[in-house]
Amino acid sequence: MWRTYLYGNIELDPSSAILNYDQGVFEGLKAYRKQDGRFLIFRPEENAIQLQIGAERLCMNAPSIDQFVDAVKQTVLANKRWIPPPGKGSLYIRPLLIGSGPVLALEPAPKYTFLVYTSPVGNYFKEGRTPLHLVVEDRTYRSTPGGTGGIKTIANYAPVLKAQCEAKAKGFTDILFLDSATKENLEEAASCNVFILKDNIISTPDTQGTILPGVTRKSIIDIARTYGYQVQFPWLNFCHLFV
């Protein structure tokens, strides 16, 4: 049974695992308003699976797929007045799973909290659907082999902020990270996967544990194949792509 609360602060023990050891994962999905007034939620069951994979990697207890989807639906219904009109944006949904129990030793938390909150949003980038201005980051790396780049852990994102802020200060929209092993191949942007389209071929780096196999990524691949595109998973050498 899920409990619904008004949006507000949450209380955590200072020794909770999320505050001390970043034991936490999250998801991001959206709800849309149709012309007939109904609502659509984009593939929540896929986000539930992704959350479970991340939770298993961090030794966390996760909700079942049905529990996840039910919590998301109830949260959307409770906030339906905030879903923008068709074509004007969407309701962003943020599920969080955190180690809320106290633990001083480096070990899994004794208790976990799963919560979902929402916010109305427009386009993620201010440019909207116009081309983005990206810069290749060759000094820091988003993830490394054997790390947590393949899951949506909370700890993955703060390390990219400095490089991202520096890029935006120079007028760029976002950054493209290279792989840490060869320092030559594109992996991901700070906030999304990378796809290269040439003729009828779409190329995107294979995941292999360092790239998030996101729901949007999977959906683009499925839809592209439905429309007859070939989807390949080569290493994308940025020197060859942009020279």
Is the separation of the CB atoms in 142 and 155 below 8 Å? no
Catalytic-role residue among 34, 80, 111, 152: 152
Active-site residue 152, yes or no? yes
The 3-class secondary structure across 60-124, one letter per residue, is CCCCCHHHHHHHHHHHHHHCHHHCCCCCCCEEEEEEEEEECCECCCCCCCCCEEEEEEEEEECCC
Lookup result for tokens 């947590």? 148
Q: Catalytic amino acids?
A: 152
